[in-house]
Amino acid sequence: MYHNPVLLHESIDALITNPDGIYVDVTFGGGGHSREILKRLSDKGKLYSFDQDLDALNNTIDDERFTLINQNFRFLENSLLMYGISSVDGVLGDLGVSSHQFDAAERGFSTRSDAPLDMRMNVLQNLDAKKVINDYEEEQLADLFYYYGELREARKLAREIVHYRKNKKINTTEDLKKIFSYIPQFKQNKFFAQVFQAIRIEVNQELDVLKEMLQQSFNVLKKDGRLVIISYHSLEDRLVKRFLKNGMFEGEPQRDIYGNYTKAFELLKSKAIIPTVEEVEQNSRARSAKMRVGIKV
């Protein structure tokens, strides 16, 4: 079951400036955003949507203006070129794990279900959560818990995993949770959400892939084209915010003698756009969502 898309009308209102234009939805999922984009396009408009998850192919849209590309969005630029597209009017990305992926217990994304340690968005890739947890060195585990899960006790967690797996392989989400059964009940939800997030980001290289997609979006956008990104945790949002501000992820842009630098984007709004209280009540996934919109200079 694919649930309601987050910030649906706000995102499409910000994205569509030319009904005859070419648009890209880099996170097709259940197709909610894509369907709304198609409603706003004329007969001349085109939409190219990306999703590496094979399950998403079941939601394809029968519309001659629509093309679904079964690829990771890190291949945005080359994939569009294969269809003869070198520039577009807008790019939309609704990041993170879809409700469907969380609800499909066997995928191992959810902290609520006992399932194999998997967490692959692309089920054909080799690296999965089981390999990360059982094969990574202690220092590697500590780093990913610290940087991707923002867990202060990262070294302790890594040490406990390595100690546990000396005697028994960690195969399921419950096996993993058992190692940390000492965590107080009132802290468990947030703690395990951070642990699972860290592993999932590593398995899917989410932050590296996001950087590649943002840079390629800039390359393919026409002047005044819109980049609309919805993110769900601070690691993603910081990258998006920084990129929209100066086209970089780290370091400082070169400035002229007056202290000015060439902007990549103008912001549609200076602050992130967040869902209404009503939307959060109807769709819990919207709770942590932040949307940022850049207009290519």
Binding site residue list: 31-33, 51, 73, 94, 101
**Is residue 169 within 8 Å of residue 133, measured between CB atoms?**
no
CATH superfamily of 8-99+207-296: Vaccinia Virus protein VP39 (3.40.50.150)
Pairing of strands 221-231, 290-296: antiparallel
Instruction: Say what the pLDDT of residue 35 is.
Output: 97
Please say if the pLDDT value at position 104 is more than 70: no
* Distance from the first to the final alpha carbon of the chain: 39
CATH 1.10.150.170 in the chain, residues?
111-205
pLDDT band at 107; cut points 50, 70, 90: low
* Mean pLDDT score across all residues of the chain: 92
Domain 111-205 has CATH 2.60.40.10: no
CATH 3.40.50.150 in the chain, residues?
8-99+207-296
Helices (H), the chain: 8-15, 32-40, 76-82, 99-103, 129-135, 138-147, 154-165, 173-179, 185-204, 206-220, 234-246, 277-282
pLDDT band at 98; cut points 50, 70, 90: low
pLDDT band at 257; cut points 50, 70, 90: confident
pLDDT band at 102; cut points 50, 70, 90: very low
Cβ atoms within 10 Å of 238's Cβ, excluding its own:
13
Binding site residue list for S-adenosyl-L-methionine: 31-33, 51, 73, 94, 101
Q: What is the pLDDT of residues 140-178, one digit of tens each?
A: 999 999 999 999 999 999 999 999 999 999 999 999 999
Q: What is the pLDDT of residues 41-60, one digit of tens each?
A: 999 999 999 998 878 788 89
**Is residue 111 within 8 Å of residue 129, measured between CB atoms?**
no
Residue 220, CB-side half-sphere exposure with 13 Å CA sphere: 29
Tell me the whole-structure pTM to 2 decimals.
0.90
Percent of the chain with pLDDT over 90: 79
Cα angle, residue 275 at apex, residues 270 and 279 outer, rounded to 5°: 165
Instruction: Say what the pLDDT of residue 260 is.
Output: 80
